[in-house]
């Protein structure tokens, strides 16, 4: 998204809309006061993150902070234009302004929910508007410039700015590479790198890894956009080829029961298949069949595939259409769009029984946004409602609508009797991903699929899986062999960019967790040393801590500490990478006092010294555990380095072989 729009106000985070001018005056006097105390050396703000501290330097240099502060003192809001040049940097900049000046903000994206009346509303509320831009190909409109108080350019951030903050962090003078100014880093990349990087070299590597991950994501979404456009072009071509006639498809496979990843929608579909069979057998009336649903989910989660599979399972022909298709039939005149829409619904009614699929229903915006907007859209939305009503009452038509984002839909569309049944199709979890992989690469053994599915859970869509399977098969074909799990891993996971030493350290840390869990009778679900946006590696496991006995608390706290202990014993020293683990363990240990398991019956606030003493005892136990099992930990770590991700089956096999479970 090239342009963003933020409304800034003087309210607190918990009450961003309760803005009155008084707030602004209070705030103004605070700031005035602060400035008088410390005019030339503005307080860097103790709770600014490192990336925000860099942004603060750039903001001060650009003059924006100064101008903004002055304006707040005057109590008169305005519109500000800010060139940022990159999406992540925009986020950092805006949060830095908000935090530094104690302002809360609402965030609108250009084109979504924005129109000029927002400017008037912001002025009424006494709120500033900051418009940001991150794409040089898409300049601010002259119309917007007319409203603006001032324009600032934040693209001259320098690597020295980052060097200054990194030096502060490590407490000595540090050079930061010139090709890594703050603007190039993904949002929070620097913060994460400074938490997990033991020195400047490690921090730099972590930043580069995150840039690589971000670039890969961007490349993938570009591919996805092209795929969507091709799909749309194919749909339009097939329409044009049929001379404006509506195509009737007859899908036969796959069927819904062959597919995974649809959750509640799949259960609804199974009922529908049974009901339609009962209707055909004359056992129930059509009015008893639940015939319409809205699927909401990110692109590529298989909504179109679901509609086609449902048609196959119900043995119904299908018409597939979309708003873009209707709009593309004429020179985008309202009347052409309306005619095309009617034509589709009429074709459905003339060909019952039938399944009607309508994609991208979120292209149809809600009414009442602004008068100008309404002149154009209201007739279109009204026609759509009328068509839906007629169709949903027609015996023999099932309607499936799909969209990526339901928040902008006209509420009337979702009212009872229309698309009132709604299913969220999320990115698939590990189990669903494994089944989707099996669908697209049936030759792969499940032992090869499981680790890949584990590593990608929650980050890849069904369409990604289809692409990974295609690419992996291509690699195997070129080398004249069958496709393997390693091929899939190669195309699906980001390349390793850390040093071998750091990879081994991560593997030893994660193996420490995993072995401790195995010893307490829990084989983890997965062990991964693939970097993602949250961590350098992880172990996931199911342990029910809700039982709440002392042993249950220790059953999690001890394995949590075993990662750090493994680094300590096997590599000679720990790193700060275990911060999250220490928080988990000390949080659990601190809870003992509150819960009456800390030696007192009166619930007490945790006492720092007592928690520390218990943590030390527990850590000594973790160290002993590592010493006794160092052979198993090293073996598992080497296995993790080799395979990058180990699924439950591989971990169970390891545990059995080693006599650990
Ligand atoms: P959407 O309509 O949600 O954008 P599509 O139905 O067009 O997604 O999905 C694109 C492709 O991705 C499908 O043709 C299929 O190959 C694959 N795909 C998506 N979800 C699944 C799934 N749950 N099971 C199998 N394949 C899937």
Q: Is the pLDDT of residue 242 over 70?
A: no
Range with the largest mean pLDDT of 7-21, 316-330, 437-451, 618-632: 618-632
Q: From the alpha carbon of 308, which atom of ligand 1 is closest?
A: 6
Which ranges in the chain are annotated with CATH 1.20.58.760? Answer: 497-657
Please tell me the residue having the least CA distance from ligand 1 atom 6.
302
For the cut 80, the answer to whether the pLDDT of residue 54 exceeds it is: yes
Q: Which atom of ligand 1 is nearest to the CA of 254?
A: 25
pLDDT per residue as tens digits for the range 292-350: 899 999 889 999 999 999 999 999 999 999 887 887 765 556 788 888 889 999 999 98
CA 620 from chain centre, in angstroms, equals 38
| Distance, CA of 560 to CA of 458 (rounded, Å) | 23
Express each pLDDT in 553-579 by its tens digit.
888 899 999 999 999 999 999 998 888
497-657 CATH pick, 3.40.190.10, 3.40.50.720, 1.20.58.760, 1.25.40.10: 1.20.58.760
Stretch 632-646: mean pLDDT = 93
The least confident of 17-21, 354-358, 535-539 is: 17-21
Kindly tell me if the per-residue pLDDT of 19 is higher than 50. Answer: no
pLDDT of 6 above 50 = yes
pLDDT bracket for residue 275 (50, 70, 90): very high
Residue nearest to atom 24 of ligand 1 (CA): 436
**Ligand 1 atom 18 nearest Cα:** 462
Residue with the smallest CA separation from ligand 1 atom 27 is 462
- Mean pLDDT to the nearest integer, 63-76: 78
Instruction: Determine whether domain 430-492 maps to CATH 1.10.8.60.
Output: yes
Candidate of 220, 460, 466 to mutate for ligand 1, largest count of ligand atoms within 8 Å of Cβ: 466
pLDDT score at 37? 35
The minimum-distance atom of ligand 1 relative to the CA of 261 is 23
Q: Which two tokens stand for residue 299?
A: 């692109």
Which residue's alpha carbon is at the smallest distance from atom 25 of ligand 1? 436
Q: What per-residue confidence (pLDDT) applies to 51?
A: 92
CA 137/CA 135 separation, integer angstroms? 5
Alpha-carbon span 257 to 274, nearest angstrom: 12
46 pLDDT higher than 70: no
Q: Is 102 helix (H, G, I), strand (E, B) or coil?
A: coil
Average pLDDT on 125-149 reads 73
Ligand 1, atom 17, lies closest to the CA of 463
Q: How many CA atoms lie within 13 A of 101 on its CB side?
A: 32
Candidate from 300, 426, 435 with most ligand 1 atoms within 8 A of CB, to mutate: 300
Neighbouring CB atoms inside 10 A of 16's CB total 17
Q: Of 69-83, 158-172, 451-465, 603-617, give the range with the top mean pLDDT.
A: 158-172
Spatial separation of the C-alpha atoms in residues 522 and 514, rounded to whole Å: 9
Which carries the bigger pLDDT value, residue 64 or residue 238? 64
CA of 392 to the centre of ligand 1 (A): 26
pLDDT category at 18 given cuts 50, 70, 90 is: very low
Closest CA to 373 of 107, 113, 2, 131: 113
Ranked by mean pLDDT, the top range of 47-51, 264-268, 297-301 is 264-268
pLDDT of 409 over the 80 cut:
yes
* Better-scored residue on pLDDT, 169 or 5: 169
Is pLDDT of 626 > 90?
A: yes
pTM exceeds 0.85 for this model: no
Could you tell me where in the chain the CATH 1.10.8.60 domains are found? 430-492
Residue 162 scores a pLDDT above 90: yes
Percent of the chain at pLDDT exceeding 70: 83
pLDDT at 35 over 50: no
Is the pLDDT confidence value at 644 over 70? Answer: yes
Please compute the mean of the pLDDT values over residues 394-423 and round it to a whole number: 87
Range(s) of the chain covered by CATH 3.40.50.300: 256-424
Q: State which of 302, 309, 439 you would mutate to test the pocket of ligand 1, scoring each by most atoms of that ligand within 8 A of its C-beta.
A: 302
Of 447 and 24, the structure prediction assigns the larger pLDDT to 447
Q: What is the mean pLDDT of residues 44-66?
A: 84
CA distance 578 to 568: 11
Query: Is the pLDDT assigned to residue 501 strictly greater than 60?
Result: yes
pLDDT of residue 219: 76
Taking the C-alpha atoms of residue 334 and residue 382, their distance in angstroms, rounded to an integer, is: 12
- In angstroms, what is the span from residue 436 Cα to ligand 1's centroid? 9
Distance CA(283)–CA(184), nearest Å, equals: 65
pLDDT at 497: 87
C-alpha 323 – ligand 1 centre gap (Å): 19
- Residue 301 CA to ligand 1 centre (angstroms): 5
What distance in Å separates the CA atoms of residue 638 and residue 25, rounded to the nearest whole number? 62
- Tell me the angle at which helices 334-350 and 371-393 cross, rounded to the nearest 10 degrees: 10
The answer to whether residue 75 scores a pLDDT higher than 70 is no
Of 8, 2, 6, nearest to 108 by C-alpha is: 6
Over range 390-397, report the average pLDDT.
84
Q: Domain 256-424: which topology?
A: Rossmann fold (3.40.50)
Tell me, in angstroms, the distance from the centre of ligand 1 to residue 32's CA: 57
Q: Measured between alpha carbons, how far is 364 from 263 in angstroms, rounded to an integer?
A: 26
Q: Which residue has the higher pLDDT, 527 or 103?
A: 527
Least confident among 100-104, 475-479, 576-580, 606-610? 100-104
pLDDT of residue 367: 76
Q: What backbone phi and psi angles, to 5 degrees, belong to 304? A: -65, -45
pLDDT for 7 equals 52
User: Does the structure show a pLDDT above 70 at 627?
Assistant: yes
The number of residues in the chain equals 661
Q: What are the tens digits of pLDDT across the range 183-230?
A: 888 888 898 888 888 888 888 988 888 888 888 777 777 777 777 777
10, pLDDT greater than 50: no
Residue 398 DSSP label: E
Task: Please give the residue that has the higher pLDDT: either 609 or 139.
Answer: 609
Region 498-520: mean pLDDT is 95
Residue 241 pLDDT class (50, 70, 90 cuts): very low
Averaged pLDDT of the chain: 81
By alpha-carbon position, which residue is closest to atom 12 of ligand 1? 463
pLDDT tier for residue 42 given thresholds of 50, 70 and 90: very low
Rounded CA-CA distance 578/508 in Å is 12
Ligand 1 residue neighbourhood (C-beta within 6 Å): 259-261, 297, 299-305, 402, 436, 439, 462-463, 466
> Of 118-132, 174-188, 380-394, 461-475, which gets the smallest average pLDDT?
118-132
Q: State the pLDDT confidence band at 163, using cuts at 50, 70 and 90.
A: very high
Asked if the model's pLDDT at residue 43 lies above 70, the reply is no
Q: Atom of ligand 1 at shortest distance to CA of 305?
A: 6
Residue 110: its pLDDT value, please?
A: 56
Res. 16 pLDDT band, cuts 50 70 90:
very low
Question: In angstroms, rounded to a whole number, what is the distance separating the alpha carbons of residues 474 and 463?
Answer: 17
What token pair was written down for 258? 């062959």
DSSP string for 254-300: S-GGG--S-HHHHHHHHHHHHHHHHHHTTSS-GGGS--EEEEE--TT
Which one has a higher pLDDT value, 308 or 16?
A: 308
**Spacing, Cα 115 to ligand 1 middle (Å):** 34
Per-residue confidence (pLDDT) for residue 586, from 0 to 100: 92
Q: What would the two tokens of residue 147 be? A: 């409203």
Q: Is the pLDDT of residue 518 over 70?
A: yes
Asked if 333 and 326 touch (Cβ cutoff 8 Å), the reply is no
Ligand 1 pocket: which of 359, 400, 439, 462 to mutate (most atoms within 8 A of CB) = 462
């Amino acid at each position: 998204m090239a342009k963003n729009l933020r409304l800034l106000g003087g309210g607190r985070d918990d009450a961003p809309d309760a803005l009155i001018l008084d707030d602004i005056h209070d705030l103004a006097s605070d700031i005035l006061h602060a400035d008088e105390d410390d005019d030339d050396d503005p307080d860097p703000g103790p709770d600014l993150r490192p990336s925000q501290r860099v942004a603060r330097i750039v903001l001060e240099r650009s003059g924006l902070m100064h101008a903004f502060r002055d304006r707040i003192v005057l109590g008169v809001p305005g519109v500000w234009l800010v060139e940022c040049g990159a999406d992540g940097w925009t986020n950092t900049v805006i949060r830095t302004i908000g935090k530094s000046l104690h302002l809360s903000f609402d965030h609108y994206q250009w084109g979504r929910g924005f129109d000029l009346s927002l400017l008037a509303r912001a002025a009424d509320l006494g709120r500033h508007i900051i418009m940001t831009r991150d794409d040089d190909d898409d300049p601010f409109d002259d119309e917007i410039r007319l409203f603006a108080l001032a324009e600032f350019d934040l693209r001259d951030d320098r690597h020295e700015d980052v060097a200054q903050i990194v030096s502060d962090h490590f407490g000595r003078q540090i050079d930061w590479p010139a090709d890594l100014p703050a603007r190039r880093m993904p949002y929070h990349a620097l913060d994460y790198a400074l938490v997990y990087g033991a020195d400047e070299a490690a921090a730099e590597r972590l930043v580069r890894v995150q840039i690589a991950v971000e670039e890969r994501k961007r490349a993938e979404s570009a591919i996805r956009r092209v795929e969507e456009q091709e799909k749309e072009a194919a749909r339009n071509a097939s329409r044009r080829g049929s001379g404006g006639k509506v195509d009737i498809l007859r899908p036969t496979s796959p069927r819904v029961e062959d597919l995974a990843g649809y959750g509640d929608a799949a259960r609804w579909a199974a009922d529908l298949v049974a009901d339609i069979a009962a209707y055909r057998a004359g056992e129930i009336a059509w009015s008893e069949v639940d015939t319409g649903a809205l699927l909401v989910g990110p692109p590529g989660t298989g909504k179109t595939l679901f509609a086609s599979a449902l048609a196959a399972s119900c043995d119904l022909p299908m018409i597939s259409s979309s708003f873009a298709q209707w709009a593309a039939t004429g020179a985008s005149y309202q009347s052409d769009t309306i005619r095309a829409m009617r034509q589709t619904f009429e074709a459905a009614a003339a060909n019952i029984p039938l399944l009607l699929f309508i994609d991208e229903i979120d292209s149809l915006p809600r009414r009442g946004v602004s008068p100008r907007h309404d002149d154009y859209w209201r007739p279109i939305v009204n026609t759509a409602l009328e068509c839906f009503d007629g169709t949903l009452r027609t015996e023999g038509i099932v309607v499936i609508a799909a969209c990526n984002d339901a928040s902008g839909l006209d509420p009337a569309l979702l009212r009872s009797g229309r698309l009132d049944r709604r299913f969220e199709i999320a990115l698939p979890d590990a189990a669903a991903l494994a089944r989707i992989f099996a669908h697209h690469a049936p030759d792969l053994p499940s032992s090869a699929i499981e680790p890949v599915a584990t590593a990608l859970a929650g980050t890849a869509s069904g369409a990604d899986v289809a692409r990974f399977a295609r690419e992996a098969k291509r690699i195997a074909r070129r080398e004249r062999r069958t496709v393997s799990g390693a091929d899939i891993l190669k195309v699906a996971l980001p390349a390793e960019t850390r040093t071998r030493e750091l990879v081994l350290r991560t593997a030893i840390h994660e193996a420490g967790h995993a072995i401790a869990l195995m010893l307490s009778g829990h084989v983890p679900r997965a062990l991964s040393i693939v970097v993602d946006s949250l961590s350098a590696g992880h172990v996931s496991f199911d342990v029910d801590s809700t039982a709440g006995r002392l042993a249950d608390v220790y059953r999690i706290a001890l394995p949590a500490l075993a990662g750090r202990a493994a680094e300590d014993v096997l590599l000679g020293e720990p790193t700060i990478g275990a911060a999250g683990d220490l928080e988990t363990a000390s949080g659990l240990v601190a809870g003992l006092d509150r819960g009456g398991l800390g030696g007192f019956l009166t619930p007490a606030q945790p006492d720092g010294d007592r928690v520390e003493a218990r943590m030390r005892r527990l850590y000594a136990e973790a160290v002993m555990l590592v010493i006794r099992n160092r052979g198993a930990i090293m073996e598992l770590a080497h296995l993790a380095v080799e395979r990058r991700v180990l699924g439950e089956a591989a971990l169970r096999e390891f545990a059995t072989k080693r006599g650990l479970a």
